[in-house]
């Protein structure tokens, strides 16, 4: 994709987000990810079946129906099994995670980096605040102790609020895209246009005792939020201070997405303990990191380090700016 034009950049600067159509070829970038994650789900089902937590491996089902069945029977999301990141607390030496080659190739997709370069410049660092999200239809999911689906709509937040204060001056950019089409009924992002022009708002842990971290509604214009439906190959980019969340999945299919983040090389990522890398450099092309095996190794080393800190509720290292608003 060519770099953004002036009109697109102006829109992003005015509203704090920008949806873009047909940025990359989904057959090239997304189809390998789907194939890769089938093997991840195979492993999860095998493990759960051996532990008598699953009555069948459900090998005959497609990915979406199969992952939904796993959540239904176990009452758990198993998000960490699929994620290319680590939790903040309680990491063990064998905590599951996934750092496959196809995922890495998405992080360094040239068309995505062209868009990123238009906003933050040509020296691009892959920020390690990155996740995969898999949300089955809510009507098919069991409820938690609070009567809510075990995975549902994402509460309103700013991405600047999910990193620590060291990244206060960092020009962090979020790139969000679906693996399968994400129409409004599937629960895509909802964004509050123009909300990036203010400050980083208060993020309340366990807001209203609902088990979610959220910005209190009175601090932003919730009624002004707009949905951002996307198809395969589309992306939406977000300013780090843009208030956003996601809608509930009321469709018949899973909503599966990646959210990636980038910042100018040399700026603080807000997650120093997690490994990032140079995704693009016009000044020093040889510094660009293109080794998916080494990427995986870096995260395995990080997992070992994390298994020794932030245990049993202790916070040896702070990951975000959440506060108790009780």
Position 216 in a domain = no
**pLDDT of res. 302:** 97
Position 259 in a domain = yes
Question: CA-CA distances (angstroms) from residue 168 to 9, 108, 172, 174, 241?
Answer: 22, 25, 9, 15, 10
**pLDDT of res. 162:** 86
Position 267 in a domain = yes
| pLDDT per position as a tens digit, 107-149 | 999 999 999 999 999 999 999 999 999 999 999 999 998 889 9
| pLDDT per position as a tens digit, 252-282 | 999 999 999 999 999 999 999 999 999 999 9
103 pLDDT higher than 90: yes
Query: What pairs with residue 19 in β-bridges?
Result: 236
DSSP H helical ranges for the chain: 6-15, 26-50, 63-74, 79-82, 101-107, 110-120, 292-306
The count of C-alpha atoms lying within 13 angstroms of the C-alpha of 177, restricted to the half-sphere facing its C-beta, is: 25
Contact 151, 141 (CB under 8 A): yes
| pLDDT per position as a tens digit, 182-224 | 999 999 999 999 999 999 999 898 777 566 789 999 999 999 9
Contact 236, 257 (CB under 8 A): no
| pLDDT per position as a tens digit, 229-257 | 999 999 999 999 999 999 999 999 999 99
- How confident is the prediction for the chain on average, in pLDDT? 94
**pLDDT of res. 278:** 98
Residue that has been written with the tokens 């068309």 in this structure: 111
Residue that has been written with the tokens 């159509």 in this structure: 21
Residue that has been written with the tokens 């997405």 in this structure: 257
Residue that has been written with the tokens 């509203």 in this structure: 15
| pLDDT per position as a tens digit, 159-182 | 999 888 899 999 999 999 999 999
**pLDDT of res. 141:** 98
Pairing type for strands 322-324 and 203-205 reads parallel
Mean of pLDDT values over 31-46: 98
Confidence grade of residue 324 (pLDDT, cut at 50, 70, 90): low
Query: For residue 99, what is the domain's CATH number?
Result: 2.60.120.620
Tell me how crowded residue 307 is: count the other CB atoms within 10 A of its CB: 16
Q: What is the DSSP string of 184-230?
A: GGG--EEE-TTGGGS-PPPEEETGGGSS--B--GGGS-GGG-EEE-B
Question: CA-CA distances (angstroms) from residue 45 to 36, 59, 87, 88, 290?
Answer: 15, 9, 22, 25, 31
H/E/C letters for each residue in 43-56? HHHHHHHHCCCCCC
Sheet holding 189-191, edge to edge: 226-228, 189-191, 244-246
**pLDDT of res. 325:** 72
**pLDDT of res. 317:** 60
- What percent of the chain stands above pLDDT 90? 87
Position 316 in a domain = yes
Query: What pairs with residue 175 in β-bridges?
Result: 237, 260
**How many structural domains compose the chain?**
1
322 pLDDT higher than 70: no
20 pLDDT higher than 90: yes
Position 210 in a domain = no
Q: How far apart, in Å, do the first and last CA atoms of the chain sit? A: 47
Q: Domain containing 42: what range?
A: 6-196+221-321
* 212 vs 10, more confident: 10
Confidence grade of residue 318 (pLDDT, cut at 50, 70, 90): low
| pLDDT per position as a tens digit, 287-310 | 999 999 999 999 999 999 999 998
Q: Which contiguous run of DSSP H or E holds residue 238?
A: strand 235-239
CA angle at residue 93 from 92 to 99, to 5 degrees?
100
**pLDDT of res. 10:** 98
Sheet holding 235-239, edge to edge: 17-20, 235-239, 173-178, 255-264, 124-135, 277-280
Position 93 in a domain = yes
21 pLDDT higher than 90: yes
Contact 87, 309 (CB under 8 A): no
C-alpha 160/C-alpha 173 separation (Å) is 10
Position 1 in a domain = no
Q: Helix 63-74 to helix 26-50 angle, to the nearest 10 degrees?
A: 30
Contact 211, 123 (CB under 8 A): no
Position 211 in a domain = no
């Amino acid at each position: 994709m060519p770099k953004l034009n002036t009109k697109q950049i102006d829109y992003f600067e005015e509203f704090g987000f920008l949806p873009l159509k047909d940025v990359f070829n989904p057959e090239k970038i997304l189809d390998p990810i789907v194939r890769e994650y089938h093997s991840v789900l195979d492993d999860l089902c095998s493990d759960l079946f051996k532990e008598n937590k699953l009555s069948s491996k459900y090998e005959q089902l497609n990915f979406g129906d199969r992952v939904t069945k796993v959540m239904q029977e176990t009452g758990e999301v198993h998000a960490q099994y699929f994620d290319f990141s680590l939790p903040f607390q309680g990491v063990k030496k064998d905590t599951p995670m996934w750092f496959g080659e196809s995922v890495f190739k998405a992080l360094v997709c040239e068309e995505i980096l062209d868009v990123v370069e238009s906003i933050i410049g040509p020296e691009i660092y892959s920020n390690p605040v990155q996740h995969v999200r898999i949300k089955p239809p809510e009507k098919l999911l069991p409820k938690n102790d609070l009567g809510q689906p075990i995975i549902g709509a994402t509460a309103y937040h700013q991405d600047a609020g999910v990193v620590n204060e060291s990244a206060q001056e960092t020009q962090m950019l979020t790139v969000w895209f679906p693996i399968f089409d994400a129409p409004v009924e599937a629960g895509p992002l909802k964004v509050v246009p123009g909300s990036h022009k203010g400050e980083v708002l208060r993020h309340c842990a366990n807001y209203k005792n609902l088990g979610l971290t959220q910005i209190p509604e009175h601090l932003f214009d919730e009624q002004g939020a707009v949905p951002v439906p996307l198809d395969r190959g589309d992306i939406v980019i977000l300013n780090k201070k843009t208030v956003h969340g996601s809608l509930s999945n009321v469709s018949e299919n899973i909503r599966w997405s990646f959210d990636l983040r980038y910042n100018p090389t040399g700026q603080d990522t807000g997650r120093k303990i997690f490994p990032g890398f140079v995704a693009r450099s016009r000044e020093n092309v040889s510094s660009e990191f293109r080794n998916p095996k080494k990427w995986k190794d870096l995260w395995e080393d990080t997992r070992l380090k994390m298994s020794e800190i932030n245990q049993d509720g202790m916070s040896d290292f702070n990951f975000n700016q959440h506060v108790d608003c009780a």
